[in-house]
Amino acid sequence: MLTDHTTLSQFLIEERRRFPEATGDFSALIIDVGLACKAIARRVANGALGGALGQAGTTNIQGETQQKLDVIANDVFIRANEWGGQLAGMASEEMDMPWAIPPRYPRGKYLLLFDPLDGSSNIDVNAPVGSIFSILRAPNPGVEPRPEDFLQPGVKQVCAGYAIYGPSTMLVLTVGTGVHGFTLDPQLGEFILTHPRIKMPTTTQEFAINASNARFWEPAVKRYVDECLEGQPGPRGKDFNMRWIASLVADCHRILIRGGVFMYPRDTRDPGKPGKLRLMYEANPIALIAEQAGGMAITGQDRILDVKPTKLHQRIALIFGSREEVERIESYHRDHSGRDFGTPKFKTDELFQTAK
């Protein structure tokens, strides 16, 4: 029986007891991910006192300027997870190619993908940032993976989560049995279960979008936002608020707790690009969390978790949040495209069991 003071370790042990054949490797990997998040939280909290603010003077594979903490957080994730024997390999938004587990360490049966510090442009202004992670099964356990081994659709994830470094540090994750939130107790140094079985409200009066891109939006997105802005006299019959933090983790956490819809749609600035956010490091883990909490996540037309990746740093459009609003946006895309897009219901398999 889980108590009000259940730690992350206790939670994972209770989950594992439901599946006696589980080896414990999966739980150990999540604990190591949690340790990385604790270390990053401390560096973020130190701010200017730790000398880690500002730009690193380097760029990542996407050509984006890296912050010092981007580089530090990436290294923390690698060091915390490469040694334990649970991983066959890792891939990061900040690295061109997957990270090979050093020969001195054993290789395991999982793949870890992560965005070590999401929203890093907010660091210097002391706004919330976070880390996002996704765990897949390695096609060839114990063997160094090929880059294509990571290219699995989001539905294949056995765990997804994020840490948010705000007024308190929280770790939010799903292992296929709902979404659970753990708050870091700084005195104990432990993540404590504070938000069990999080359910996203099905409807909302809030939306999140970068309004400066309005002139580039697809017709379906423009129609949705225009209707929201018309408020109570308009076709929606209610007033809406817009919230935009420019940190995916922070926007996701708000929507998860109190409802809302997040939109980073495909636009016409560069028709050759299908979106801005990274499928493997951002969209897939956030989509699994959204669906496990009762929400939805789509590209506009298609379910995010069904998208078959074609490259490690693939970009994609992402719309997720309260089910009624996402369904409305999806229907608007059908109206404007003339295509009949189906959204298959997500089968909430016992991912913890398949991850053993």
105-154 pLDDT, tens per residue?
Answer: 999 999 999 999 998 777 778 889 999 999 999 999 999 999 999 999 99
Mean pLDDT of the chain: 90
pLDDT at 127: 84
Residues 139 and 259 in one domain: no
Residues 240 and 136 in one domain: no
H/E stretch holding 283: none
Q: How confident is the model at residue 58 (pLDDT cuts 50, 70, 90)?
A: low
Quick: pLDDT tens for 151-198: 999 999 999 999 999 999 999 999 999 999 999 999 999 999 999 999
| Residues tagged in the binding site annotation for substrate | 118-121, 210, 276
Residue 280, pLDDT above cutoff 70: yes
* CATH code for the domain of 14: 3.30.540.10
Q: With respect to residue 70, please indicate whether it lies within any of the assigned structural domains.
A: yes
Work out how many domains the chain is built from and give that number.
Answer: 2
Q: With respect to residue 75, please indicate whether it lies within any of the assigned structural domains.
A: yes
Residues 237 and 177 in one domain: no
Q: With respect to residue 224, please indicate whether it lies within any of the assigned structural domains.
A: yes
Residues 261 and 154 in one domain: no
Q: How confident is the model at residue 229 (pLDDT cuts 50, 70, 90)?
A: very high
Higher pLDDT, 311 or 5: 311
Residue 351, pLDDT above cutoff 70: no
Quick: pLDDT tens for 201-227: 999 999 999 999 999 999 999 999 999
Q: At what angle do helices 25-46 and 68-81 cross, to 10 degrees?
A: 150
Is residue 114 within 8 Å of 134, Cβ to Cβ? yes
Q: With respect to residue 2, please indicate whether it lies within any of the assigned structural domains.
A: no
Residues 127 and 235 in one domain: no
Q: Is 338 strand, coil or helix?
A: coil
Residue 49, pLDDT above cutoff 70: no
Q: With respect to residue 282, please indicate whether it lies within any of the assigned structural domains.
A: yes
Residues 167 and 231 in one domain: no
Report the distance separating Cα 290 and Cα 346, nearest Å.
11
Range of the domain at 61: 8-196
Is residue 218 within 8 Å of 266, Cβ to Cβ? yes
Quick: pLDDT tens for 67-114: 788 899 999 999 999 999 999 999 999 999 999 999 999 999 999 999
Residues 210 and 237 in one domain: yes
Q: With respect to residue 346, please indicate whether it lies within any of the assigned structural domains.
A: no
Residues 36 and 93 in one domain: yes
pLDDT at 5: 86
Q: With respect to residue 90, please indicate whether it lies within any of the assigned structural domains.
A: yes
Task: State the Cα torsion 104-109-113-114 to the nearest 10°.
Answer: -70
Domain boundary among 146, 161, 196: 196
Residues 241 and 177 in one domain: no
| Residues tagged in the binding site annotation | 93, 115, 117-121, 210, 276, 282
Higher pLDDT, 54 or 11: 11
Q: With respect to residue 125, please indicate whether it lies within any of the assigned structural domains.
A: yes
* CATH code for the domain of 245: 3.40.190.80
pLDDT at 121: 75
Domain boundary among 173, 196, 219: 196
| Residues tagged in the binding site annotation for Mg(2+) | 93, 115, 117-118, 282
b/e string for 29-61 if b means 16 or more Cβ within 10 A? bbbbbbbbbbbbbbbbeeeeeeebbeebeeebe
pLDDT at 341: 34
Residues 249 and 114 in one domain: no
Strands 277-278 and 206-208, by their bridges, are unpaired
Residues 181 and 323 in one domain: no
- DSSP assigned state of 307: -
